[in-house]
Amino acid sequence: MPAQSVNSLFIDGQWRGASDGSTREIRSPHDSSLVTKVSEATAQDASDAIAAARASFDSGLFSSWSWAQRSALVARIADLLERDAEKIAMLESGDTGKRVIEADYDLADVISVFRYYAGLGLSEHDRVVHVGDERIDSRVVSEPVGVCALIGPWNYPLLQASWKVAPALIAGCSFILKPSELTPSSAIALMKVMDEAGTPKGVANLVLGAGAVVGAPLTSDKRVDLVSFTGGLATGKAIMATASQTVKKVALELGGKNPNIIFADADLEAAIDNAVTAVFLHSGQVCSAGTRLLVERSIHDHVVESIAARANAIRMGGPADLTAETGPLISQAHLGKVSLYVEKALAEGAQLLAGGKRSTHESLAKGWYFEPTVLDNCRTSMSCVQDESFGPVLTVETFDSEAEAIALGNDTIYGLAGAVWTSDSDKAARVAKALRHGTIWINDFGPYKAQAEWGGFKASGIGRELGPSGLHEYLEIKHIWTNTSPARSGWFEDSLERESK
């Protein structure tokens, strides 16, 4: 199921190329080799996709389907994704450079998201409001929000798309999906699956290209009712500002700087192992990565030395390397950003315990590999603690008390996720409650389920994905009041009656 070099835009039920014939080369992060070529959409192509989505929604073509019908469609999509999972995982691995085994796990999660929303669509979404008057039928009903612009990131291209596409379909919305310009192949495959499953013409549209050209019209056009975006803070702020001009709904997931707090009474073997996974999985290119290690002073040396030793031993390699434990960064530009991030941290006084530079291994020389990095002696005033590196970089801070751990954990503009490691269940509950982050793991790090909401506090975003709330983002609530025995209100005296007296 290779991505096509031409006709890789899907607009109004048809595959087509860019209106000006432009294409983009997709390069492997592993060795910079050519993966594929895809159409590079123009602003006009984006406008055409919006028009198709708007027309399909306004016609009631899909929004008039019953919840059960839409659930059946989403379940069918899940079945087809499961059929094609191996091929799609290979596509995503090629674009992102991540190991195939990671892409396989991602596809399993994608399928579970579609299956979850297929089931959720069959539950009751309206409610009766009892007003104490038998003449009145008062109901609150859920209706689709309308046309949605769904803009995804490059680190988990299809998974993040599924968090948006599945609930949008269940709600009855029409949409335009714009994946990252760096990782379009799995989105192309998803669109083919949705078309095969019987998604009506114009409901699902795909445009490929850079945010400045394609994303901007999606966020500013008055024909779009909602923008759901996953990505960086600066872009999220710009989308909020643009969307406010047409007062459209926004749902934003903007990353995090996530504290991983280890108390002295924790199971240290488990805490250390999970800390390594939390920060170095997918080379740290995870919005919820545990990039801030907060460790109690009495165990600092043991914990940090163990993590640094583990970091130095991590095996890096490309998608086909069965011995690899993590892969490359997404692009040469991102490699440069991570390198500068570490250089600035060292200039601010951080102590380098592991990594800190681009890999010099001969087998990795053509790719964008950065060594797993550990920075000790960090303080919250440092930019490396406050800024998101989105790379394999761990910063270490030390605390002496529960109150200090909480204060440090909350000393960030972000609030996406965090973890607490302790054998004291009461302490764990207190710290979890006090941390201002959308997900808190206790004696674990990283798991999520489609049934449970995902999202952040503060600068990590607005709204929630997954769970019932992930569906509610794509619904408008309407109150319908029916008087079954209509009568005059009697509030104002009828003028004609007054004249006849």
Residue of 227, 226, 184 lying closest to 207 (CA atoms): 184
Is 134 tagged catalytic? no
Per-residue CA distances from 331 to 29, 117, 202, 374, 449 (Å): 6, 33, 33, 22, 29
Is the separation of the CB atoms in 71 and 79 below 8 Å?
no
SS (H, E, C) 456-473: CCHHHEECCECHHHHHHC
The catalytic residue among 173, 287, 378, 384 is 287
Is 287 tagged catalytic? yes
Is the separation of the CB atoms in 18 and 5 below 8 Å?
no
Tell me whether residue 422 is exposed, middle or buried, using C-beta atoms within 10 angstroms of its C-beta: 0 to 12, 13 to 18, 19 or more: buried
Pairing of strands 417-421, 259-262: parallel
Q: CA geometry: angle at 164 spanning 163 and 167, to 5°?
A: 90
Is the separation of the CB atoms in 306 and 275 below 8 Å?
no
Look-up: residue for tokens 């019953």? 66
State the Cα–Cα distance between residues 315 and 43, nearest whole angstrom.
Answer: 43
- Alpha helices (H) along 225-353: 233-244, 268-280, 300-313, 332-347
Look-up: residue for tokens 């050209």? 213
Residue of 197, 208, 207 lying closest to 82 (CA atoms): 197
Residue of 432, 452, 434, 433 lying closest to 443 (CA atoms): 432
Q: What is the DSSP string of 78-139?
A: HHHHHHTHHHHHHHHHHHH---HHHHHHHHHHHHHHHHHHHHHTTS---EE---S-TTEEEE
Cα atoms found within 13 Å of the Cα of residue 142, Cβ hemisphere only: 20
Q: Is 376 left (phi over 0), alpha (psi -120 to 50) or beta?
A: beta
Is the separation of the CB atoms in 60 and 172 below 8 Å?
no
| Residue type for position 256 | G
Helix axes 157-171, 185-197, angle to 10 degrees: 30
Residue of 123, 72, 78, 10 lying closest to 475 (CA atoms): 123
The catalytic residue among 40, 102, 181, 253 is 253
Tell me whether residue 34 is exposed, middle or buried, using C-beta atoms within 10 angstroms of its C-beta: 0 to 12, 13 to 18, 19 or more: exposed
Residues marked as catalytic: 253, 287
